[in-house]
Amino acid sequence: MAGLSRSLGASAVALLLGLSGAGAAASSSLSVPSHVPAAQRARLESIARDALVSTRVEGQTHFMQPEVFEYLLDHPEFASHVTRALRLARYRIWQDAGERWLDDGWGTRGRFVLVHAEPGRRVFHARGAYETRFLPDMRGEAVAILEYTFRPAGDGRTLVESWATGYLQVDNGFLRVLGRVARPFVQAKADKEAGQLLRVFARVSRAIEENAAAVYQRVRERPDVPGPELHLFRGLLRLP
């Protein structure tokens, strides 16, 4: 499963469809806020407990204004326009029948939802499939947690520190039967994806730092970018 492999907003989610693998193993216990419906909370905790692979990855520290960072994080469809405009990702994220979908352009497709949001933390739940040439399609569910902090840099800028935790559970019975034989393949795919979302955030932030007006213009040139969100983005970039 892949997550937000080569894109930003996905948001998060590659986080989302399968961030797992590289870095330190994540704890198998998952604390889900009590306001999340009991059935959904139990499902997320089950995914973490029975995950085939899991990880916790630390992202690169980078500069970005808090309001811009959180705007892109909370507007994944628009964030995918930004990353595609900057040629940092192939992700497409869209809404269909009230659900949010992700296609990473490399064989992973699925839907995801934001389960919980609070300052410094987002929790996502995703279900999807990864098509492979050598094994049956890998289908499953993932829980992804993005944590972040803002720290004044002393020069009017803000440093962003971020961490991503992911749990991946595979549905495919054949792969489950393979057990230890299949795990290295799943882990390798997860390793490839893990941390990519955080790196894309850093690359977007560098592009904005270097020339915010140029970033805005490249996004503006996309024919299907939503006008209202583009207008808000311009304001957050503090462009004249």
Task: For the chain of 240 residues, list the mean pLDDT of each consecutive stretch of 10.
Answer: 33 38 54 86 90 81 94 92 89 84 76 91 87 68 91 92 85 58 60 68 91 97 94 96
How far apart are alpha carbons 146 and 13 in whole angstroms?
9
How far apart are alpha carbons 100 and 126 in whole angstroms?
10
> Which tens digits make up the pLDDT trace of 1-32?
333 333 333 333 343 443 333 344 556 668 78
Q: Which uninterrupted H or E stretch holds 11?
A: none
pTM equals 0.81
Q: How far apart are the first and last CA of the chain?
A: 42
Expressed in percent and rounded to 5, the helix, strand and coil fractions of the chain are 35, 30, 35
Q: Residue 4: what pLDDT?
A: 31
The candidate with the shortest Cα–Cα distance to 180, out of 18, 36, 52, 7, is 52
Percent of the chain topping pLDDT 70: 73
Q: Any idea where the domains of the chain sit in the sequence?
A: 38-234
CATH of domain 38-234: 3.30.530.20
How far apart are alpha carbons 20 and 13 in whole angstroms?
11
How far apart are alpha carbons 81 and 227 in whole angstroms?
12
